[in-house]
Structure formats: C-alpha cells, structure tokens
Amino acid sequence: MVIVIALGLGIVAFIFALRMLKAEEVGSGLVLTAREAGAVMSSPELGDTEKEQLIRRAAGRLFLGFFRIGAIGAISIGAAILIVWLGTLVGLYTASEAVALGSNWIFLLVSSVAAVALWLVVRRRAPPAEAAADEAQALPYGTLDRALHRIAFAAPGLQKALADVETSRFSDRIDIETAQRPVFVTSLARAGTTILLETLAAQREFASATYRHMPFTLAPLLWSDLTKSFQKDDGLAERAHGDGLTIGFDSPEAFEEMVWMAFWKGHYRRDRITAWSAEERQEAFEAFFRRHRAKIVASQPGATRYLSKNNTNIARLGLLEEIAPDASIVIPVRDPLAHAASLLRQHRRFTELHAREPFGRRYMEGIGHFEFGAALRPIVFEGDPPPREEADHLDHWLRYWADTYENVLATAGDRAIFVDHDALSAEPARHLLALADALALQEPEDLVGSASRFRPSRPADPPEAAAADRVERTRELHARLSARCLTP
C-alpha cells in the first residue's frame, strides 16, 4: 500500500511539473510553428527570399521548442522519480519493489487513466494567471473552445475549404445581391469604432459577424448550422479593454480581418502590416469577399446590408472603394491627444495580459487584432516601423496617429463618411440623424433612438508629457479631418 501511495504521489508530481513548466503551451507552439512553416512554403504571394528567411526563423523556433519540451519532460520525470526514491531512502520499500509494481500492466492502465483525469481537473481549476485569457477574450472559452480556436487560426486553408463547402450547401440562402451597399466602420482602435458598430448593428437592415461565428468565421452559415444544438446562451460581460462596454455571444465584433489574412499573407509580417494600394486587385479574393458578405447577411433573418468594423481597413481605403464602389466607409475621428493616450493605456494593459496568458495573444493575432500588447504589429505606410520598445511612450502613438490620418486624408475618396466622435458623444441625436441620412437608412428614427448609448467624452490627462512638435502636427491634422466630418 505504501508503494502505491508513493507511485501515486510520483504521478501527481509529474502532472504538476508539466503544468508549472507550461508543457501544453510549448507543445502547442511547436504545432503552430510547423503549420505556419507549411503555410509559408505553399504561399504564392511570398517570394523565394522571403520564404527562406521565414523558414529559417521557424526552424530556429522549432529547435528551441523541441529543446524546451525535452527539458520539461526530463524535469517532470525526474520529479516523479524523486518522490519514489525518497521512499526507498527512508526504508519504506526497495527500489526493485517499486519498479515491479510500476511496470505491472494493471497499475500502468489504472495510473494512466488517473493521470489523464488529474490533468483535466488541474486544467479546469486554472490559476488566476490562466484566467487572464478569459479576460483577454472577454468570453468564457474553455478547453475545447481553445483547441478549436488553435485549429481555426492555424489553418486558413481549412477555413477556405469549409467556405467552399458552405457555398454549395447553402446556395439557396446566399444571395450576392445582399452584398450591395455595405458599410465598413474603420479607424484606429480607440476612436469609437465599437460603439458605432454596435449602434448600427442594432438596426434591422444590417448584419454583422458575431461571436457565434467564431472561430470558423469564413464559414458563418456552416459553423452556425453545425453548432446550433449546443450553442451557449448569450450572457453579457465587460470586454477586456476595461472601458465599460459589454459583449456577449450575439454581439457584433471585428472578425472580417480573418478573410483578408487568408488571401493577403504577404502584407502581414512579423513586425508590421504593410498598407494596401488601390491597384492591388485580386479576383479570387473579391469574389470570396462578396460571397462572404452575402453569407453574413443570410445569417441574420430580415437583414439586407452587410456591416463590419475592421480597424485595419484604414490601411486600404482606396482598395475598398475599388472593390466595393457602392460601399459607405464610416471613419470616426477623435481628439488626437486623448486618442493617443488611450492607445498607450490599452497597449500597456494588453502587454500585461499577454505576459500572464499567451493564449490571449494568440487569440488576438488569430482574429487579426494587432493593435496592442505582445501582438502589436503597427500599420506601416512607408519606411520601417519604429522599435517596439518605443510603443511604451506617448510620443510613439502621437506619431502613429499622425502617420495614419495623413494617409487617410490622402486616400479616402467620396465614399468616406467622417464622424466627429467627440461631437457625436456630446450631441448624439443630432449627429446620428446626419449619419442615418448619409447612409440612407430605411428607418433613420431608430438610429436616433440609440442616442442613449453615448456619453459625453470625459477629458483625461495624458499619462505623460509629449513632444510639442508632435502635438502640433496632430492638432493641424485633426483640424483638417474635422473639416471633412459630417455636420448636422
């Protein structure tokens, strides 16, 4: 009996050592790196030189990962052996007796089942650091959910294949004509895009991607059909940004970027996202994107128009107007100093979250949210991005704000509708009526009825001083942007 207890304690030590040394994360990282390498090799958009560089980096990560997983395994086995060995030191049993029992097939079978059960129990009782992933996602994703997300994020080819199956299976529901007059809400993060998305999505004519379409967002009808028997009830919770906005499974969200990432891999580099030009046309993508918009509309009974929020669309305004000439592109504009300060605060917040739980970072990268934290990949309009460490300073975000909106002024065409976020928050009814008119809504009074969602912007002190020349540059740009904003 003493030997059984000792061997059982050895199994417990083995499981907890694996857990503490994050064996699952390292193993998942190896799988994802291998899949990324495969995607790089098969990508038609990357040149041989870039492929070689990316493969070399992947090989280095794989080597380090295999070394880490080997070391974790050795340490965990050593912990188990140590527990059993201590029993021999005090004379409770001999080493040969422990080996004999430990190699018995009945003991091996029972202990294996017990080890798996213990592993699952430990995972369910996640420590506070792992609970940060739920905060980072703002939705209660469990073990199975995370596994599905990892598969979906690592296999865009699978997503596109499912989308093709969906197109065939639901051909009677997919009407390309419903992809007409789409509305794209875009701006830098923290400009008020989320509240505009939620306000517009509440209008019956609009349909937008929701959390129920996750993680296979490229096949929204098929995934909804497959999961309808075990979908969770919609419960609201504050999102990870800490800004008071609540979300649930039926809340609209910015998942459109996953479509772009599946077709434009060359624009997503390890340290940046490169801007699109209006001349970058891709027939296969445009056909897929039209069908995708029609599918989203078909997923919401009664809807007639597609709506999305996608902050990265601000890097391809000219291309959007080319591929969707009947679209409306809504661009909220916020006071630059307050906006930059908010960006900095969120970057610091998500840097901390991602350090506590890597899955939060993988989640954001998987859905194409590269705005903050360890997932940060700034949009680059020309030249190289600044060093990553500069992102912890207000001057970085002021320069980023100026670079972004200079490009916006240069590339936004007639389909762009600029909205003064601060004025909208102060007098929502008047500005919502102007927006309803600009979007030619069927029931403009319903949009005006959403005025209670908005609260006047509260002035907040910047977290630190900023260079005077950068503040002046953003003020001048803000004045030019304000001149293009809707006026009630």
Give percent of the chain above pLDDT 90.
45
Extended beta strands in 96-148, E state: none
Answer whether residue 131 is part of any domain: no
Confidence of residue 112 (pLDDT cuts 50, 70, 90): confident
Which pLDDT belongs to residue 461? 67
Which pLDDT belongs to residue 139? 43
Give the mean pLDDT of 56-66: 72
Task: Domain of residue 244: give its range.
Answer: 136-483
Confidence of residue 275 (pLDDT cuts 50, 70, 90): very high
Q: Kindly tell me if the per-residue pLDDT of 46 is higher than 60.
A: no
Give percent of the chain above pLDDT 70.
79
Q: How far is CA 121 from the centre of its chain?
A: 28
Give the mean pLDDT of 204-209: 94
Average pLDDT, the chain: 82
Does residue 311 sit in the same domain as residue 343?
yes
Which pLDDT belongs to residue 244? 47
Answer whether residue 488 is part of any domain: no
Give the mean pLDDT of 389-412: 95
Answer whether residue 383 is part of any domain: yes
Longest dimension (CA), the chain: 88
Which pLDDT belongs to residue 117? 72
Which pLDDT belongs to residue 121? 67
Helix, coil or strand: residue 440: coil
Does residue 188 sit in the same domain as residue 43?
no
Does residue 277 sit in the same domain as residue 160?
yes
Q: Which residues contact 180 (CB under 8 A, 6 or more apart)?
A: 305, 326
Confidence of residue 309 (pLDDT cuts 50, 70, 90): very high
**Final residue belonging to a domain, choices 103, 125, 147:** 125
- For the ranges 100-114, 304-318, 443-457, the maximum mean pLDDT occurs at 304-318
We report the CATH number of the domain holding residue 376 as 3.40.50
CB 378 within 8 A of CB 268: no
According to DSSP, the β-strands at 328-333 and 183-185 are: parallel
- pTM to 2 decimals? 0.70
Answer whether residue 71 is part of any domain: yes
Does residue 103 sit in the same domain as residue 158?
no
Lowest mean pLDDT among 37-41, 76-80, 219-223: 37-41
Q: Kindly tell me if the per-residue pLDDT of 134 is higher than 50.
A: no
Does residue 164 sit in the same domain as residue 228?
yes
Answer whether residue 240 is part of any domain: yes
Which pLDDT belongs to residue 44? 54
Place of tokens 């389909």: 415
Does residue 119 sit in the same domain as residue 243?
no
Lowest mean pLDDT among 189-203, 275-289, 328-342, 350-364: 350-364
In one letter, which amino acid is 273?
I
Which pLDDT belongs to residue 28? 66
Q: Kindly tell me if the per-residue pLDDT of 133 is higher than 50.
A: no
Element containing residue 469 per DSSP (H, E): helix 468-483
Answer whether residue 169 is part of any domain: yes
Answer whether residue 245 is part of any domain: yes
Which pLDDT belongs to residue 404? 96
Confidence of residue 18 (pLDDT cuts 50, 70, 90): confident
Does residue 71 sit in the same domain as residue 146?
no
Answer whether residue 130 is part of any domain: no
Lowest mean pLDDT among 109-123, 235-249, 308-322, 420-434: 235-249
Number of domains in the chain: 2
Confidence of residue 271 (pLDDT cuts 50, 70, 90): very high
Q: In this structure, what are the phi and psi dihedrals at residue 226, rounded to the nearest 5 degrees?
A: -70, -30
Does residue 150 sit in the same domain as residue 192?
yes
Does residue 254 sit in the same domain as residue 118?
no
Lowest mean pLDDT among 70-74, 99-103, 373-377: 99-103
**Final residue belonging to a domain, choices 97, 125, 153:** 125
CA distances from 406 to 400, 466, 479 (A): 10, 19, 12
Does residue 288 sit in the same domain as residue 399?
yes
Taking the CB of residue 153, how many other CB atoms lie within 10 A of it?
A: 20
**Final residue belonging to a domain, choices 125, 153, 179:** 125
Does residue 103 sit in the same domain as residue 179?
no
In this predicted model, what pLDDT tens digit does every residue of 217-251 receive, in sequence order?
A: 898 998 887 766 555 555 544 444 444 444 455 67
Q: Kindly tell me if the per-residue pLDDT of 151 is higher than 70.
A: no
Q: What gap in Å lies between CA 171 and CA 26, rounded to an integer?
A: 42
Does residue 212 sit in the same domain as residue 335?
yes
Q: Kindly tell me if the per-residue pLDDT of 138 is higher than 60.
A: no
